[in-house]
Amino acid sequence: MKTKFLLLSTYITMSFFISCNSDEKTNDETVAAITNEEIITNSKIDASVEDVTNIAEDQFSSQLNVNAKPSGPIKNYLPSCATITTVLTNNTWTKTVDFGAEGCTLNNGNTVKGKMVVSFSNDFTSSTQTISYTFEGFYHNDKKLQGSKSIVRTIKETSLLVTPHPVSTASIDLAITFDDGKVYTRKGTLIKEMTSGYDTWFDWEDNVFVVTGSGTTTFPNGDTFSAEITTPLEFNASCRKSFAVKGIVSITKNGASATLDYGNGECDTLATVTKDGVTEEVDLKK
């Protein structure tokens, strides 16, 4: 009887530990899941990258066309509160865009403050140009951006459009500090094609871009959030939003996966997230 009792006790004890280990595994899997809050946070970083890219490219285009005569009224991309200082040194243009300590509101409603320093060659006859920029105390929607970025801009034909048009390849290496002090890092490459509006530089509102590429965001807890554009993203400047209006992004983190679908062209900040076969709508602006 003692032997039977001992065996029974051992079985109960082992069953308890197995049950605990099973519960711990379930909890670990729950922690590893991709949350909507993480997707929204990553999208806020996307919006910052989109805006600073547009600011840099706008400064290049404005210098490129400084002596051109527009066929219509000029619609400035930057708000009037931005101060621009332009210097030509050793065949290189350096443009310092100062949004001030109080900040400015862009046409899409996002706020920026501090400085961006944009530089590029004075050789506008070349079909390929490199645009570089850095930050000096620069904030986007109260997030501090640090690091550097370069954009290789080429005029060429592609499978999307046979007419020669601007195609920009952006290399991203940024640190983003949110207003709660948490620091995120973003690295990646984006290819951005300007499929409409490239022949009306004086009117940014008719610009349409198609974007492909991938990137990784490292969260403050060390998690790596990887995103790959599986269906090209479309951005329409007339929407006055820094989010895509079309396209799909595939997301992975710690073995978990999700897809982010920007919809069918509506000018809003809504998207659908699909995880484990379940689809729900999220507002990326939150």
Q: Among residues 142, 136, 234, which one has the least CA distance to residue 194?
A: 234
Q: How far apart are CA 24 and CA 2, in angstroms?
A: 33
Q: Among residues 147, 166, 155, which one has the least CA distance to residue 58?
A: 166
pLDDT at 107: 93
Reported as a single tens digit per residue, the pLDDT across 110-126 is 999 999 999 999 999 99
Residues 243 and 110 sit within 8 Å (Cβ to Cβ): no
Share of residues in the chain with pLDDT > 90 (%): 81
Q: Above 50 in pLDDT, residue 18?
A: no
Paired tokens of 61 = 């285009």
Mean pLDDT over 162-180 rounds to 96
- Please state, rounded to an integer, the average pLDDT across all residues of the chain: 89
**For 263, phi and psi rounded to 5 degrees?**
105, -155
- List 35's β-bridge partners, or say none: none
Q: How far apart are CA 144 and CA 229, in angstroms?
A: 25
Q: Among residues 222, 279, 221, 225, which one has the least CA distance to residue 250?
A: 225
Q: How far apart are CA 13 and CA 225, in angstroms?
A: 39
Q: Among residues 57, 56, 46, which one has the least CA distance to residue 166?
A: 57
Concatenating the DSSP letter of every residue in 20-74 gives HHHHHHHHHHHHHSPPHHHHHHHHHHHHHHHHHHHHHHHHHHHHHTTT---SS--
Reported as a single tens digit per residue, the pLDDT across 185-222 is 999 999 999 999 999 989 999 999 999 999 999 999 99
Q: How far apart are CA 218 and CA 223, in angstroms?
A: 6
Reported as a single tens digit per residue, the pLDDT across 87-106 is 999 999 999 999 999 999 99
Q: Above 90 in pLDDT, residue 40?
A: yes
Q: How far apart are CA 247 and CA 230, in angstroms?
A: 8
Q: How far apart are CA 19 and CA 204, in angstroms?
A: 61
3-state secondary structure of 19: helix
pTM for this entry:
0.86
In the chain, where does DSSP find H-type helix? 2-32, 36-64
Residues 91 and 17 sit within 8 Å (Cβ to Cβ): no
Q: What is the DSSP letter of 238?
A: G
Q: How far apart are CA 227 and CA 34, in angstroms?
A: 12
Hey, what's the torsion of the CAs at 120, 213, 216, 227, to 10 degrees?
150
Q: How far apart are CA 279 and CA 271, in angstroms?
A: 10
Q: Among residues 21, 76, 78, which one has the least CA distance to residue 52?
A: 78
Give 4 or 179, the one with higher predicted confidence.
179
pLDDT at 108: 93
